[in-house]
Amino acid sequence: MRRLTLRQLRIFEAVARHLSFSRAAAELHLSQPAVSIQVKGIEAILGLPLTEQLGRKVFLTDAGRDVLHAARAITARLDDLQENLAQLRGLEGGRLRIAVTSTANHIATDLLARFRQQLPSVALHLDVSNRAAVLARLADNQVDLAIMGQVPEGQDLLATRFMDNPLGVIAAPDHPLARRRRIPLSELAHESFLMREPESGTRAAIERFFADHDLAPQTSMEMNSNGAIRRAASVGLGLGILPLQTLELELQLKRLVVLDVAGFPLMRHWYVVHRTDKRLSPTALAFHDFVLKAPGAPDPAASNAA
């Protein structure tokens, strides 16, 4: 004897709720013929019609109303079961400890806010520090996960790339280079740069990039935050090289411009990181999977591990 499937019940519930095959198909991201086939499949199993069409309107039969009542009861019980199992797995009422580098703070807070919408009872602890401090917290097992832009080798860390992180050259709007196009990289050798502290992964990437092009940029000031560099660049204290994802407000307010420099944007990546010997909790695993499915994340099969 053939049995009804949960998929069939969910499809019929959408048809009955909308009293429309086309609107149900749109909600479920299916074609209208596919929805009709599933409903006809239920009717074939039960041996009774579930809907009738008078003119352009769809109505439920007595059998259709009974099936709708059962479908809603069954799906509600299943939803309750999933919530109860989530609590048993520790997702509801669980705890997530995460450390992020200061450059990744804007990315991490957005991800955590959206993750909290899915699991509002999870207790979150976010530690924003420089790269050295984040690595120390990972080494001391003080956090479950970390988000950073550069992961060192040889520290027993598993890192998975999940989003691009383009860096651009920024300047005050009245800087002499602001109106230039296709600025040769060699011209930056004569400019003063606002740089992060020596331990910064962003700074290390910038220095490698310039060294690969036989250039040695002049450092006018060292700062320990991207915010400080943005403010200093906006008042003409030098050029900065920062993640473009952090510049939306300053660009909108025309406090900064992104220079059109050959070779830029310099592409880096964001990584979600944990110790290789760390057994992640259900909550940490859920956030790890959530991050890898975030908009802008690459196909997991193509992501890099460091």
> What's the CATH code of the domain at 51?
1.10.10.10
Decide if pLDDT at 278 tops 50.
yes
Tokens of 19: 């009293």
- Average pLDDT on 263-292 reads 91
**In a domain? residue 205:** yes
- Average pLDDT on 236-265 reads 92
Query: Which region holds residue 102: left if phi is over 0, alpha if psi is between -120 and 50, else beta?
Result: alpha
Do 132 and 281 belong together in one domain? Answer: yes
For 249, the domain range is 164-268
Q: Which residue has the higher pLDDT, 240 or 278?
A: 240
Give the per-residue pLDDT at 280.
Answer: 86
Do 78 and 219 belong together in one domain? Answer: no
Tokens of 216: 């040695």
Decide if pLDDT at 301 tops 50.
no
- Average pLDDT on 20-38 reads 92
Decide if pLDDT at 201 tops 90.
no
pLDDT confidence tier of residue 84, bands split at 50, 70 and 90: low
Domain boundary among 53, 70, 89: 89
Give the per-residue pLDDT at 124.
Answer: 93
**In a domain? residue 1:** no
Residues 6+ apart with CB under 8 A from 221: 194, 195, 232, 237, 238
- Average pLDDT on 28-37 reads 92
Question: 200: domain CATH number?
Answer: 3.40.190.290
Give yes or no for a contact between 60 and 68, defined as CB atoms under 8 angstroms apart. Answer: yes
Give the per-residue pLDDT at 142.
Answer: 87
Decide if pLDDT at 88 tops 70.
no
Decide if pLDDT at 300 tops 70.
no
Weakest-pLDDT range from 191-195, 227-231, 243-247: 243-247
Give yes or no for a contact between 146 and 136, defined as CB atoms under 8 angstroms apart. Answer: no
Tokens of 81: 């079961």
Do 156 and 112 belong together in one domain? Answer: yes
Q: The pTM is what?
A: 0.62
CA atoms of 33 and 197, how far apart (whole Å): 61
Q: How many domains does the chain have?
A: 3
Do 262 and 282 belong together in one domain? Answer: no
- Average pLDDT on 202-227 reads 89
Give the per-residue pLDDT at 119.
Answer: 87
Whether the link from the prior residue into 265 is cis, omega within 30° of 0, is yes
Do 172 and 262 belong together in one domain? Answer: yes
Give the per-residue pLDDT at 80.
Answer: 65
Decide if pLDDT at 189 tops 80.
yes
Do 217 and 244 belong together in one domain? Answer: yes
Do 29 and 175 belong together in one domain? Answer: no
**In a domain? residue 110:** yes
Judging by DSSP bridges, how do beta strands 123-129 and 95-101 pair with one another?
parallel
CA atoms of 163 and 27, how far apart (whole Å): 29
Weakest-pLDDT range from 23-27, 56-60, 96-100, 216-220: 216-220
Domain boundary among 57, 89, 121: 89
Do 113 and 40 belong together in one domain? Answer: no
- Average pLDDT on 160-184 reads 93
Closest listed residue to residue 289, CA positions, set 267, 274, 275, 268: 274
- Give pLDDT tens digits for 216-243: 888 889 998 889 999 999 999 999 999 9
Give yes or no for a contact between 59 and 87, defined as CB atoms under 8 angstroms apart. Answer: no
Burial class (CB in 10 A: 0-12, 13-18, 19+), 100: buried
- Average pLDDT on 178-198 reads 92
Measure the N-to-C terminal CA separation of the chain; round to a whole number of Å: 53
State which amino acid sits at residue 18: H
Give the per-residue pLDDT at 306.
Answer: 36
pLDDT confidence tier of residue 90, bands split at 50, 70 and 90: low
Measure CA 134 to chain center. Answer: 20
Mean per-residue pLDDT of the chain: 88
pLDDT confidence tier of residue 303, bands split at 50, 70 and 90: very low
Question: 297: domain CATH number?
Answer: 3.40.190.10
Percent over 70 (pLDDT), the chain: 92
Give the per-residue pLDDT at 304.
Answer: 37
CA atoms of 225 and 48, how far apart (whole Å): 69
**In a domain? residue 244:** yes
Do 158 and 288 belong together in one domain? Answer: yes
- Average pLDDT on 50-67 reads 92
Do 116 and 245 belong together in one domain? Answer: no
CA atoms of 84 and 54, how far apart (whole Å): 43
Do 137 and 13 belong together in one domain? Answer: no
